[in-house]
Structure 1
Amino acid sequence: MSLPPSPAPSPLPRPDEVHLWIVEPERVTEPRLLAAYLALLGAEERERHQRFRFEKHRQQFLVSHALVRVCLSRYAPVAPRDWRFSTNAYGRPEIAGEGMPRLRFNLSHTDGMAVCAVAHDMEVGADVEHSGRMGQTVELAESFFAPSEVADLHSLPEALQRERFFDYWTLKESYIKARGAGLSLPLDQFSFHLAPGQPPRISFDARMVDEPESWQFVQLRLSAEHPAAVAVRRPRGLPLSVRCQRCVPLASEESPWRVDSGDR
């Protein structure tokens, strides 16, 4: 089948920025477009796509993985279907092949939203969550979060606890995804300090080998139900912004906007 044309090339992300591409998978319903997405996937991706039991999950996977391929092709002369990926020991996908640009990317998707973060030559992680997806958030925090974060949750009125829980959760997920080690990094061995008007700050206990000054984080609210966070290995104190752009891969784009570290 003939594919829709790829989007025009984009400049690489600057050293002080991350590009965040955003799509709502459930809103992509045109059969021709979905067929085009399927044609972009590699054999392993197609097998994974078929293994999902529910159509909703197949749709999320298809649209989000097409998003990755189409976005990467904006930054390099590689057709979306020609990207090849390898995975590290913890399952994080990376661009494979000789002579490829030093792009780093990270994909996250949940009910109603998928995001792909792209950076140039610096580690990046992203997480988006649906805030209605989990049940007893404080109980989850007590099982997995650092003591200071649990204490902060308990200090808040009950009406504010769920929002703060997802602030912590998305930040933690973005960090472990940027590290490329997944849940091999225990969530209670690092913590975040959140203060109004200030960027999130990470700290590590004695068991975690890392440097707090090496990381920056940006929090976003992509909808009333979709908190998100981006983590970048970039020295604290240097400028950082996230260029956000909603799109439908191979079809349409909205005007971008920026969120700086420290903004919300």
Structure 2
Amino acid sequence: MQADMIQSWIRPVCRIGTVSVVHIDLALDEAHERHAVSWLHEQERQRWQRYQVDRPRREFAFCRSALRYLLCQQLGCNNYELSIATADHGKPYALLHGKPVSIRFNVSHSDPHGLITIREGLRVGVDVEAGLRKRDFDGISEMVFGPNEREEILSVKGAKKARLFFRYWTLKEALLKGLGTGLSTDLTKIELPQNVRHGAPRGIFQSPSDPATHWQLQDLSTQQYTAAIASEIVSSDPNYTSHTET
């Protein structure tokens, strides 16, 4: 099974501590999609076939095949030896020969961009939003942001409001996906670190319900998309704030 074709739609973005971030190009042709599907296992192909709309079907094929390729590289295994299952709250995890592995990963996509984060051991989450789609920013803010975050979004207008909303949204969504708790987490009860809300590209989040757990939040936004990752950290790790562009 050719891996060089998959390499044509994945691109390393950066490495932050032990976390690797990879970009997936989702705007490719049918030949690439056919090759992506060839990497899927039978249940994944059935899932791919059930999609009724081209865009999400293509996103699933490209992201899942790229994830399989990256996991095979990390684990030093063949694709047929690898399986991907789903835990509580819908978070996927990898198994090798039917046994869970210690590698953690997360996937997000917003056509035409996908992002995959992968690391050893600790939890990680990622979120990406392409463009600045018009939404009821103030109304949604009431449901997903804390009081300081809502006040800051209400204080700005137009494109600045959209940029701030999606920045906060991707940072909190990445954190939620990293936690793996799904909708059971009340996002209005947790707020982004003050330095991040005031423009810093990264900051440390400490969960009020779990003070022993810390997360590094990192803004990865570009001119093409808004994105962020959340990485579980240990305070003794001297590398958790390092950010290397690749």
The TM-score by the shorter chain falls in which range? 0.7 to 0.9
CA contact (8 A) 2:205 2:214 kept: no
Letter in 2 for 1:126: V
**Which runs of structure 2 are paired with 1:53-64 in the superposition (5 Å)?**
53-64=52-63
The residue that corresponds to 2:10 in the other structure is: none
Q: 1:212 to 1:99 in 2, by over 3 A?
A: closer
State the alpha-carbon separation in 1 of the partners of residues 126 and 33 from structure 2: 24
1:200 is matched with which residue: 184, 199, 203?
A: 203
Task: Give, as a single letter, the amino acid of the residue that structure 2 aligns with 1:179.
Answer: L
Structure-2-length-normalised TM-score: 0.84
Q: How well do the aligned residues superpose, as a CA RMSD in angstroms?
A: 2.6
Name the amino acid aligned to 2:158.
E
Q: Deviations over 1:117-155 (max 9, x none)?
A: 001111111111123345222221123211111011122
Instruction: State the alpha-carbon separation in 2 of the partners of residues 235 and 153 from structure 1.
Output: 31
For the 8 Å contact 2:39–2:65, the answer to whether it is kept is: yes
Q: Percentage identity across aligned positions? A: 24
For residue 218 of structure 1, report the CA deviation from its aligned partner. 0.8
Deviation at 1:158, TM superposition (A): 3.4
- Structure 2: how far apart are the matches of 1:213 and 1:156? 33
1:22 corresponding residue in structure 2:
23
Deviation at 1:16, TM superposition (A): 2.5
C-alpha separation in 2, matches of 1:88 and 1:108: 17
What is the TM-score normalised by the length of structure 1?
A: 0.78
2:131 corresponds to which residue?
131
Say if 2:103 and 2:119, in contact at 8 Å, map to a contact too: yes
More helix by share: 2
| 1:59 to 1:14, Cα distance in 2 relative to 1, 3 A | closer
Distance in 2 separating the partners of 1:173 and 1:238: 26
Q: Which ranges of structure 1 fall in alignment gaps of 5 or more residues?
A: 244-256, 259-264
- Kept after mapping to 2: 8 A contact 1:190/1:202: no
Q: What is the count of residue pairs matched by the alignment?
A: 233
CA distance 1:53–1:133, shift in 2 (3 Å): farther
Q: Deviations over 1:81-105 (max 9, x none)?
A: 4321221111101112466652111
Partner of 1:4: 2
Residues 115-264 of structure 1 mapped to structure 2, 5 A cutoff: 115-192=115-192, 193=194, 194-197=197-200, 199-202=202-205, 209-211=209-211, 214-222=214-222, 224-235=223-234, 238-240=238-240, 241=242, 257=245
